[in-house]
Structure 1
Amino acid sequence: MAVPAGVPALRAERLTKHFGGTHAVEDLTLEVPAGEVFGFLGPNGAGKSTTIRMLLGLLRPTSGQAWVFDTPVADVEQAHVHLAYVPADVALWPSFTGQECLDLLAGVGPGTDLGYRAELVERLGLDPGKRARAYSTGNRQKVALVAAFATRAPLLVLDEPTSGLDPLMEREFRRCIGEATGRGQTVFLSSHQLAEVEAVCTRVGILRAGRLVEVAGLEELRRLRRSEVTVDLARPAPGLESLSGLPGVADVRWSSPLRLTLALTGPPGPVLRALGEADVVRLDVREPTLEEIFLDYYGRAAA
């Protein structure tokens, strides 16, 4: 489905939602370019689902506004022409079969590739002949995912989409994300499963207590955090005490006379030059995982 060129797939300006005295989302501003896989991270209760419901026009904000491409989400019917949505808790029509649910969802969506849908049913191991009331949580999730990925909507909004899937199906999910982006679709993926986001997303936003604390690419986020450097020596090198005074170096620790670790922010050049005279037999540099970055935000905020 054609959408205006150069227009962000999702845009929010100062979205805020209060439920009485509870501030679920506060002053959230965000822009997701078309064609991007954007990860929306936060633990349960951070405000992710509330934000998504406002972005989709399903919940009226206390203040602020949002757009799907160039359509204000207040115009829900028109905004939803451009998107497919998988909620965190999938509810189906209990007396319908899986196939009937898929057909109904295809009828209300912006167009479905029926051949690809049949392929996805097979790949995800879904029995479409069963009644929805007999489906497990994971199988209800599969119905919603098949319907969403088979659509040709330019925007896919996925809220905790793999919570009921086993690891094999999670692998298929990641493959589906790659195929969607290959078709030029935008994916907005809300999750607390950090490995999943790290595997498929190009940028992430981290939500804490209803506030967006960071939006950045994965590599940029990693650069914001210290890398851990471990050095193994063939023989003691007393001159390395000076490492602690180098730019970007912190937390220098000797676990033995022949092994040291340090935390490094920024380029490694000064450290490598300082190690030039030492008899180094092994040097490992470990980048932080997205999980460590994420936990650092929460740990820092709680301190």
Structure 2
Amino acid sequence: MKDNFNVFALVVVKNEGDIIFDTIESATKWADKIFVIDNMSTDNTWEKLNALKDKYDNVILWGQYGGKFNEGLRQILYREYRGFSSENDWWCRLDGDEFYIDNPKDFLKNLPTDVDHVYNASFQYYYTEQDYRNELNLSDCAELNYNRLKWYKCNHSEIRFVKNKRTLCWPQEEGWPCNLLKAASGRIRLKHFQYRTIEQIKNRFLVRSREMSGDTFKHEIVSEEVWYKRRGFSLPNDDELKKHRIVSATDLSDSEKYEYTDTELPKIVHINFKKRIKCLVVALYMKFFNDFLFKL
């Protein structure tokens, strides 16, 4: 693949004030533009985002959105800012609590030209019993930085990058375009600090509740027993530990090599013949539609 392409990060964030500055600052090293929607945060996230905008020219704030979170918010960013993009640039979903292990620019430039989307290998950091005890012994929890967490499990994978094409069809309220054809065979690695303090964990489940986010996070808003079972973790005997999704370190890894095997992760979905035909029809329609608009 050619080296002269841009990467545009799409960020939808809510109440990530303790980590969002570091997340976006890290992404400024590889993203050409970072477009951000704040879902009406009630902590200091919005203030942190404005500080980032003032510090970095490539951080662009769309503004604040007051409705329920939905996956289509990234489509709003794409629709608003796709004029920045050219053929073969890339769109990235960047969550407010994650950091890339692999440099995306280096990873993407080595892909075959026919690849149009990339899955991640997400090293998910969990809150352990020791983290919990350490927090209880602290008088000032403001000292609890996410960098202190070291126990993770690589157990999640989903699409994180999509190549920009003239025929790209991204329906409103959908998480990604509908006419993607070929996934990269390898996955790009990232660290995901989803559980950081007891207070943050409580807030995480609150903002992801059905009342505030509909069914978007139904994979996470489940009974405690189901949550532990789906992730392959031992169920604690202590109800307080279960309530906060505290995990035993024996179920996790702290290796700094960040190695994984595909069998640990959901399968990369390869497009079958029927889907390819559907995508081709969509692509032809989009090409005709775009050509028609261009002639107007």
Q: Name the TM-score, length of structure 2 as normaliser.
A: 0.25
Q: Tell me which structure has the larger Cα radius of gyration.
A: 1
Q: Which structure has greater strand proportion? A: 1
Structure of greater relative contact order (alpha carbons < 8 Å, 6+ residues apart): 2
Q: Scaled by the length of structure 1, what TM-score is found? A: 0.25
